[in-house]
């Protein structure tokens, strides 16, 4: 048995999360808990760095959901895992013990140190998997404390990513979260009425009594009765005593490997300066491979905060902020750092000699054609007809005709190859009338030109109508969505600054993607506007740009 402490039971079914990755549901039998999680592995055909996603206080479940009545669904951790997969990284995300499919066993201690022990055994399990090379901990909020405690106990990741991590004394987090709310509600009647209307009695009670609570913890008490008006709660103090005995800021001194601490400048859960604080502690302890970065306008969950500070404050406590779009800079900064800390084989940070040789071989294939006369490369089962007019010059006479020569029919549209060179590639997508694709990040940016038809482009919840002649660019890992709310299909050209696979490999990839998209559809993902239920922002946009939309695409009765 590879590891006595961790036994694996892989569920028979593999749920698809990305056309380029396999999602495997796991149940890990650990020494103190059964841990349910999801391993997402890109189809790279080789071992890859694997990221352990450690959820914080707002992420009880593996996908990032908070198990609390009335809270909007937030699947930030699933979104993050899929972004990692698109860039070639594996990941493991898991339910916190006591939530989802993670259950405590005899010997479990409901402390951060108990969570750290779970994390340490996850490291051990992943290091035993042949698909994983380096192990990176991506710790959200309170997850930073858990990862630091694991490091103090001797369980180290090869690199660390701290997302809104707390670096301070235990009282600070209560003052910042609960104390400020109590002060806000006491400021005027309107604020007090808002707090009452939103049932924030618990937060207010802790905001008015957090000092007494910590005094009780310091005196060694196990519980403290939080009482304010009609509100009563017996608060357990074990974790507060743990924080007092092992201050969260001091625990960062045990992080010895490369680390990036990210924070949003509009973080209302953990003050933004805590990212710099964490790096200062790590560097004082000798870890000079640590760095901090702030993302302008992002909140604690790296969603785009409203400019109105009062609205942002209120949304933080009602969790309406969960409905905000994610900041597009987040994935970009994370992946740039990951490519340095734990490069994926084949990316631009790999061995320069190997990359140069590959490019030289590709250049010879492209620039060595048509030396004596023009050559026509006839269409094949996987390639359109192309003319090599002269060395280094290849053309397609009719890109619309190329659509009829090679390609694969997918739920995203009919997709096929056009041109490829050592430096760039181009392909087309003929998007069908009525198409809908939810907003999702793309690992590699592109320039896209609309040849025929009109369609809707979406990013950060904002829609724009694209028409023949429209041209746009998007950067790496920027989320985009699409819809075609007209009866005419829309034909677009995609240009990427990346060397292209040969046509056979590209078509093979497309066939695999087509099959995986069908699995997503069968699992409930909508790929057509008629599959959406009103009210829905995509349907609102469709109705605005196409007055005939309701007649052209009658929605199914629910």
CATH number, domain at 386? Answer: 2.60.120.10
On the 0-12 / 13-18 / 19+ scale of CB atoms within 10 A, 264 is buried
**Same domain membership, residue 176 and residue 162:** no
Which structure tokens are listed for 7? 């036994």
Sequence-ordered strand ranges (E) for 58-213: 90-94, 103-104, 132-140, 159-163
Distance CA 242, CA 249 (A): 13
CA 171 from chain centre, in angstroms, equals: 31
Indicate whether 235 pLDDT > 70.
yes
Return the bridge partners of 409, or none: 414
How much is the pTM? Answer: 0.76
**Same domain membership, residue 227 and residue 269:** no
Do strands 259-264 and 159-163 pair parallel, antiparallel, or not at all (unpaired)?
A: parallel
Q: Is residue 20 part of a domain?
A: yes
Q: Which of 332, 296, 300, 326 is nearest to 315 (CA)?
A: 300
Q: What share of the chain is helix, strand, coil (3-state, %, to 5)?
A: 35, 30, 40
Q: Is residue 484 part of a domain?
A: yes
Q: Please give the average per-residue pLDDT across 408-415, as a whole number.
A: 94
DSSP SS3 for 194: helix
Q: Please give the average per-residue pLDDT across 352-377, as a whole number.
A: 60
Q: Please give the average per-residue pLDDT across 110-128, as a whole number.
A: 97
Q: Which helix (H) or strand (E) holds 309?
A: helix 309-318
Indicate whether 226 pLDDT > 70.
yes
- Going from the C-alpha of 267 to that of each of 166, 217, 297, 300, the distances in angstroms are 11, 27, 9, 4
**Same domain membership, residue 231 and residue 251:** no
Distance CA 274, CA 247 (A): 14
Q: Which of 517, 468, 512 is nearest to 493 (CA)?
A: 468
**Same domain membership, residue 372 and residue 505:** yes
> Residue 420: CA atoms inside 13 Å, Cβ hemisphere, count?
18
DSSP SS3 for 419: strand
Do strands 455-459 and 479-483 pair parallel, antiparallel, or not at all (unpaired)?
A: antiparallel
Which structure tokens are listed for 451? 């040849």
CB 115 within 8 A of CB 146: yes
**Same domain membership, residue 186 and residue 131:** no
**Same domain membership, residue 480 and residue 370:** yes
**Same domain membership, residue 162 and residue 46:** yes
Q: Summarize pLDDT for 305-344 with one digit per residue, the tens.
A: 999 999 999 999 999 999 988 887 888 889 989 999 999 8
**Same domain membership, residue 180 and residue 143:** no
CA 146 from chain centre, in angstroms, equals: 20
Task: Give the percent of the chain with pLDDT over 90.
Answer: 69
CB 526 within 8 A of CB 533: no
Q: How many CB atoms lie within 10 A of CB 220?
A: 8
Distance CA 224, CA 208 (A): 13
**Same domain membership, residue 402 and residue 500:** yes
Q: Dmax over Cα atoms in the chain, in whole Å? A: 92
Distance CA 441, CA 460 (A): 11
Give the residue from 322, 341, 360 where a domain finishes.
Answer: 341
pLDDT band at residue 347, thresholds of 50, 70 and 90?
A: very low
Q: How many structural domains compose the chain?
A: 3
Q: Is residue 323 part of a domain?
A: yes
Q: Please give the average per-residue pLDDT across 21-41, as a whole number.
A: 95
Which one has a higher pLDDT value, 266 or 350?
266
Q: Is residue 513 part of a domain?
A: yes
Give the residue from 213, 239, 265 where a domain finishes.
Answer: 239
Q: Is residue 154 part of a domain?
A: yes
**Same domain membership, residue 289 and residue 318:** yes
Which one has a higher pLDDT value, 361 or 232?
232
Distance CA 502, CA 358 (A): 13
What pLDDT score was predicted for residue 500?
62
- Going from the C-alpha of 367 to that of each of 47, 356, 390, the distances in angstroms are 33, 16, 8
Q: Is residue 346 part of a domain?
A: no
Q: Is residue 557 part of a domain?
A: no
Q: Which of 167, 355, 173 is nearest to 276 (CA)?
A: 167
Length of the chain: 558
Return the bridge partners of 466, or none: 455
Distance CA 71, CA 53 (A): 22
pLDDT band at residue 391, thresholds of 50, 70 and 90?
A: confident
**Same domain membership, residue 116 and residue 127:** yes
Indicate whether 2 pLDDT > 60.
no
**Same domain membership, residue 286 and residue 145:** yes
Give the residue from 194, 211, 239 where a domain finishes.
Answer: 239
CATH number at residue 73: 3.40.50.1820
> What domain range is 283 assigned to?
7-168+247-341
Q: Which of 462, 222, 229, 493 is nearest to 328 (CA)?
A: 462
């Amino acid at each position: 048995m590879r590891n006595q402490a961790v036994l694996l039971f892989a569920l028979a079914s593999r749920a698809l999360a990305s056309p380029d990755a396999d999602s495997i549901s796991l149940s890990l039998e650990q020494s103190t808990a059964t841990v349910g999680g999801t391993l997402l592995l890109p189809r790279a055909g080789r071992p890859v760095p694997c990221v352990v996603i450690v959820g914080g206080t707002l992420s009880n479940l593996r996908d990032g959901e908070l198990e609390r009545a009335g809270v909007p669904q937030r699947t930030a951790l699933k979104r993050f895992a899929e972004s990692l997969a698109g860039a070639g990284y594996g990941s493991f995300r898991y339910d916190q013990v006591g939530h989802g499919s993670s259950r405590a066993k005899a010997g479990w201690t409901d402390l951060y140190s108990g969570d750290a022990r779970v994390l340490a055994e996850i490291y051990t399990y992943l290091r035993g998997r042949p698909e994983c090379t380096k192990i990176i901990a991506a710790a959200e909020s309170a997850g930073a404390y858990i990862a630091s405690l694991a490091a103090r106990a001797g369980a180290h990741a090869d690199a660390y990513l701290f997302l809104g991590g707390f670096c301070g004394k235990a009282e600070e987090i209560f003052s910042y979260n609960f104390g400020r709310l109590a002060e806000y509600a006491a400021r005027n009647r309107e604020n007090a009425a808002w707090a009452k209307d939103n049932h924030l009695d618990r937060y207010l009670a802790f905001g008015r009594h957090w000092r007494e609570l910590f005094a009780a913890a310091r005196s060694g008490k196990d519980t403290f009765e939080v009482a304010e008006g009609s509100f009563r709660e017996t608060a357990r103090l074990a974790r507060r005593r743990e924080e007092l005995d092992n201050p969260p800021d001091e625990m960062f001194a045990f992080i010895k490997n490369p680390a990036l601490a990210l924070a949003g400048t509009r973080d209302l859960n953990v003050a933004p300066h805590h990212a710099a604080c964490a790096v200062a502690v790590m560097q004082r302890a000798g870890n000079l491979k640590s760095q901090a970065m702030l993302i302008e306008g992002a909140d604690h969950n790296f969603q785009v905060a409203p400019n109105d500070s009062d609205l942002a404050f209120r949304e933080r406590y009602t969790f309406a902020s969960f409905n905000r779009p994610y900041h597009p800079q987040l994935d970009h900064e994370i992946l740039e750092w990951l490519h340095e800390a734990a490069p994926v084989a084949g990316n631009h940070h790999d061995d320069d000699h190997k990359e140069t040789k590959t490019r030289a071989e590709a250049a010879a294939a492209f620039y060595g054609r048509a030396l004596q006369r023009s050559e026509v490369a006839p269409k094949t089962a996987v390639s359109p007809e192309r003319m090599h007019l002269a060395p280094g010059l290849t053309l397609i006479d009719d890109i619309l005709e190329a659509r009829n020569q090679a390609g694969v029919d997918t739920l995203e549209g009919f997709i096929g190859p056009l041109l490829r060179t050592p430096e760039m590639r181009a392909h087309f997508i003929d998007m069908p009338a009525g198409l809908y694709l939810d907003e999702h990040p793309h690992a590699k940016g592109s320039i896209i030109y609309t040849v025929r038809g009109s369609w809707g482009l979406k990013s950060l919840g904002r829609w724009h109508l694209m028409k023949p002649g429209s041209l746009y660019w998007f950067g790496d890992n920027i989320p985009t969505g699409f819809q075609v709310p007209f009866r005419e299909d829309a034909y677009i050209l995609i240009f990427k600054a990346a060397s292209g696979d040969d046509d056979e490999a590209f078509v093979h990839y497309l066939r695999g993607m087509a099959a995986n998209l069908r699995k997503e559809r069968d699992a409930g993902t909508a790929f057509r506007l008629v599959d959406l239920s009103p009210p829905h922002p995509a349907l609102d946009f469709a109705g605005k740009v196409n007055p005939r939309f309701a007649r052209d695409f009658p929605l199914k009765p629910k």
